[in-house]
Chain A
Amino acid sequence: MKSHISTTINGDSVEFLCEPSQTLLQVLRNDLGMTGTKEGCGSGDCGACSVIFDGELVCACLVLGVEAQGAAIETVEGVAAHDQLHVIQEKFLEHAALQCGICTPGLIVSTKALLEENPSPTEAEARYFLAGNLCRCTGYDKIIKAVMDAAATMRQGA
């Protein structure tokens, strides 16, 4: 039997019907058409599905859709302010920190969570925090450069 769920996604109230067996990732992508959040593994290993759930960075594939009742969720679609890219997104572009792009939305969301928690991470702290976001293309170096540059730029802006 489908459950009726009321939640908040990127600040908007959202209602949906879902089976208890659906993950939040399936609901986002298949039912709500929010395909920015990617599925890499579906088993909590790759971080492509990273979203912020009640203030906590989580894998959307490890949350049931029904658990979203009353929650506040932030996805990659909420990172940019309308047409204005977020500094993190600009820095990923500037440093060419992506190739196929499957890992990128997860990394953008995770980097946002990192910099909200720790605006001045060391490179080691950034690598540790982002260790749950796998990238099979870039070798991570450009990603880390983009993250460190975004952190520095955001500190200046603040």
Chain B
Amino acid sequence: MVALTYHAPDSLEEAVQLLSTARQPVKLLSGGTDLIIQMQGLIQDERLVVDVKKIPGMRAADWMEDHLRLGPSMSCAQFTKRQDIQAVFPGLVEAAYLIGSTQVQGRASIGGNLCNASPAADTIPALIVNRAACLIQGLNGTRRVNVEDFLTGVGQQCLASDELLVAIEVPNPAARTRDAYLRFIPRTEMDIAVAGAAVSVTLDDTGVCTNARVAIGAVAPTAILVPSAADALIGTKLEDDALLAAAAASSQAANPISDRRGTVEFRRHVVGVLTKRAAKIAANRVGAL
């Protein structure tokens, strides 16, 4: 591994201080399941590693008045065990549950999944449909950025060199609203998404969809929000033709690459199918409320 200097600040102020005065390039360490591998291979020169897990609140998840405040470094294992969160955001929890093995879940975090910014990150589409925002702290204070705007490219997000992610805020969903996430992988477990789709729907008492969000992953440089797919669902009772229209909109919005795990054509098609199926699951979840 490359030469490292390691700090584990126990306050936000100390962390920002370290980031803004660092002389070498900085890597923020959360669960480490991506970073430690990257430091063994891709990264060649010296790094300052700032372990953010000891900062108060980084590993907690608390319900505030109108949102869930999620500490970015909470492990997926801790997160997926939270029945209270599962009850409200089943799609977000199922996305986190798909990441890696039990061992990887023990360390991997949602904030890490987000900041690592893989196009195929499972939790990102689920965060986007839930209107999650990133609370970012830097030398000049805090700012909030919606998750869909946080990501800027493959492996890239908008954190400045003096900034870190301090919380992910997920607003309480509107009444009769639920989410779902599905991905396609070539085997049954522990793989990287070839395509993924998250959907959130709000249904009125008669089953008409009054609001929806659709986000797709692994089919573009970043996960993307697809308003045209949501529009195809809104105002319908999610009949087959509405679902097909949403699927077509997702396929249309996708801008995938071909690689050994899937061709452009396959990814485009499958992301539509996943959109359709996730919309149905989300609607069934509202029906079960």
Contact = CB atoms under 8 A, between A and B. Distances in A.
Interface of A: 1, 3, 19-23, 42-44, 47, 50, 53, 56-59, 61-64, 66-67, 69, 110, 113-114, 128-133
Interface size class of B (residues with CB under 8 A): 20 to 34
12 contacts: A20-B4, A20-B6, A20-B49, A21-B2, A23-B36, A57-B106, A59-B103, A63-B36, A67-B8, A67-B53, A69-B8, A132-B103
A44 B2 contact: no
Interface of B: 1-6, 8, 29, 31-33, 36-37, 39-40, 49, 51, 53, 75, 77-78, 100-104, 106-107, 189-190
Contacts, number: 90
B102 A44 contact: no
Contacts of A57: 77, 102-103, 106
Contacts of B40: 42-43
Instruction: Tell me which of A50, A67, A114 has the highest count of chain B C-beta atoms within 10 A of its own C-beta.
Output: A67
Given A20-B49, A42-B40, A56-B75, A47 B3 contact: no
**Looking at chain A's contact residues, is the secondary structure mostly helix, strand, loop, or mixed?**
mixed
Given A57-B77, A67-B53, 19 more contacts: A21-B2, A22-B1, A44-B36, A44-B103, A56-B75, A57-B102, A58-B106, A62-B31, A62-B33, A63-B107, A66-B6, A66-B51, A69-B8, A110-B102, A129-B102, A131-B101, A132-B100, A132-B104, A133-B101
A-B pairs with the 10 shortest C-beta distances? A132-B101, A20-B6, A56-B106, A21-B1, A20-B4, A58-B106, A59-B103, A21-B4, A132-B103, A66-B6
